[in-house]
Amino acid sequence: MEFKDEIIFNTVNNGIIILDKELNILAWNKWLEIFTKIKEQDILNKNLCTVFPYINEKKLQRKAKTVLVTKNPSFLSLNTNRFLIDIPVSNITNTIFDSMQQDITILPYDIEKQYICIYIYDNTLMCEINKKLEQVNAELIDMSHKDHLTQVYNRRFFAEQSRKIQLYSQRNNNTPFCLVTLDIDKFKKINDTYGHLFGDEVIIKVAHIVESQIRESDIVARFGGEEFVVLLQNCDLKGAFEVAEKIRKSIENTSISLHNNEDVHCTVSLGIAQFKEEDKDNLENTLSRADKALYEAKNNGRNKTIVSN
């Protein structure tokens, strides 16, 4: 192959391959020689898909046909094809990918002779930036859903999710679900006696215990300083009572250590309500009934579970 633009062909900062319509290699530029460590003279007239057997031959063949028929470019999308030729990245630091992420353009080179040309662009840096952006976004979304201290859900997210669950249950023959409100007993006293930092530890501990006692399909959120709400899916009052009691006993039996090795115990009061027709499709009403039950528990000695009727 004679090229007038030999200099451009060998100095341009992307790969250029010229092929016939069967994908036999007719030219291979310096960029490729350097990145693949294969010299042009060693690869001429070989079939691209034989040298690199991981290439999807059917797809590439079709694209070659497309450019020769439409006489316009075709592309290999980066979203769905990470690369055409597997070239390891040179980075030692700061890398997410092992292989160069490539943007590929396929063009007609000579319509009469049915030759095509493939341009390979290194898009790795852009992809890395995008990936990092995706990660940060995911973290941000997660943060906006969660309570910072305990990492359980926050009130706003709970409202969204519980609404979805309510709709789902209505569409599925009204499968029962319950709300459990939970409040740490005499929390103000704990804060006053042991300090706010310790108070925080107590809240975290209680949150963990609640989480450990519920299923994947249930959700727990922190509603206020020392108040939590749990939504138990597919659960009636009897089942909810069992779960609530397990939580209550577990917390009762847990001790939280102070720095001076003194052990502190705390207890919680709980109120339960099942979503019913009388709530008129409004979860706020269910929550209200659960709160009333919680209030009753507080007024009757604390460290107990009361079920709303």
Partner 1 sequence: MKSIIELNEDEKDCLQELMNISYGAATAAISEIIGKFATLSIPNISTISSSQLREHLNTKLISKYKYYVSNQLINGYLAGENIFIIDEQSSINLAKQFDLDEDEINDNEIKDIILEITNILSSATSGKLASLIDTSISFSAPHITKINSIDEIDKRFEGEYSHVIIISTELNFEEENIKGELMILTKNESSKFLQKALENALENL
Q: Which residues are catalytic?
A: 226
Q: Which of 194, 164, 298 is nearest to 256 (CA)?
A: 194
Burial 80-112 (b: 16+ CB within 10 A, else e): ebbbbbebebeeeeeeeeeebbbbbebebbeee
Give the x/- contact pattern for partner 1 in 102-121, rule: CB under 8 A: -x-x----------------
- List 75, 157, 194, 198, residue binding partner 1 (CB under 8 A): 75
Of 72 and 309, which has the nearer Cβ to partner 1? 72
Q: Which of 93, 91, 115, 89 is nearest to 102 (CA)?
A: 89
**What is the Cα–Cα distance from 255 to 201, expressed in whole angstroms?**
11
Asked if residue 133 binds partner 1 (CB under 8 A), the reply is no
- Residue 273, SS3 per DSSP: strand
Asked if residue 21 binds partner 1 (CB under 8 A), the reply is no
* Paired tokens of 303: 């460290």
HSE, CB side, 13 Å, CA atoms: give it for residue 222: 21
Asked if residue 72 binds partner 1 (CB under 8 A), the reply is yes
Asked if residue 14 binds partner 1 (CB under 8 A), the reply is no
Which segment (32-40, 74-82, 135-143, 284-292) binds partner 1 by CB under 8 A? Answer: 74-82
Give the x/- contact pattern for partner 1 in 226-265, rule: CB under 8 A: ----------------------------------------
Size of the site for partner 1 (CB under 8 A): 19
- List 13, 41, 45, 80, residue binding partner 1 (CB under 8 A): 80
